Amino acid sequence: VEHAAIYTPAGRALYYRRSWPGYPYQVTIPIGKTGLIQGNMFAHNHPRGESFSAEDIWILLRHGAHDVRVFEPERSFRIAASSSTRRFGWADQESGWREVELAYERAVASLGGRYAPLVQTGRMPPVQAWAAQTHAVVRKMAMRFGFLHREV
Ligand SMILES: [Zn+2]
């Protein structure tokens, strides 16, 4: 299952949620709780090993998380803002999200040619290929929107 939590920089848990039964790979922070993210850490796991989603990146760029961490079965990563990170404010809510989502989709599409043949020829299981593809997507997103991306 997927778990998500918001922590202060000092490590105090402000919020915790786990995925709903039947939806093991999805956990969301309710709109009313997104205010807790500002300046804090949003930590969650991806049981299938994929990297940050467009929504995870939006949490950093729009909701002002100090950092966002994802725990995969074998590795963990963080994304964090730097002085050159492009931020989106309340006024950019809709257009900003569309821009981030589109950039993510385009990166997925542009990298598909690298991974699809591996799956089609049976050299890589689909779940593993998707995980590798999303890691490459996030590296592109980090360059485009100027955030830090590190294994931790
Ligand atoms: Zn996520």
Q: What is the pLDDT of residue 133?
A: 95
Average pLDDT over the chain, rounded to an integer? 92
Tell me the CA–centroid distance for residue 119 and ligand 1, in Å: 23
pLDDT band at 18 (very low <50, low <70, confident <90, very high): confident
Instruction: From 50, 52, 79, 83, select the one nearest 67 (Cα to Cα).
Output: 79
Taking residues 43-49, report their average pLDDT: 91
Tell me the CA–centroid distance for residue 72 and ligand 1, in Å: 10
Tell me the CA–centroid distance for residue 71 and ligand 1, in Å: 9
Q: What is the pLDDT of residue 34?
A: 84
Q: Please give the share of the chain, as a percent, with pLDDT higher than 90.
A: 79
pLDDT in tens, 105-152: 999 999 989 999 999 999 999 999 999 999 999 999 999 999 999 999
Tell me the CA–centroid distance for residue 64 and ligand 1, in Å: 16
Dist CA 109 CA 114 (whole Å): 10
Instruction: From 51, 53, 6, 45, select the one nearest 24 (Cα to Cα).
Output: 45
Q: What is the pLDDT of residue 24?
A: 66
pTM for this prediction: 0.91
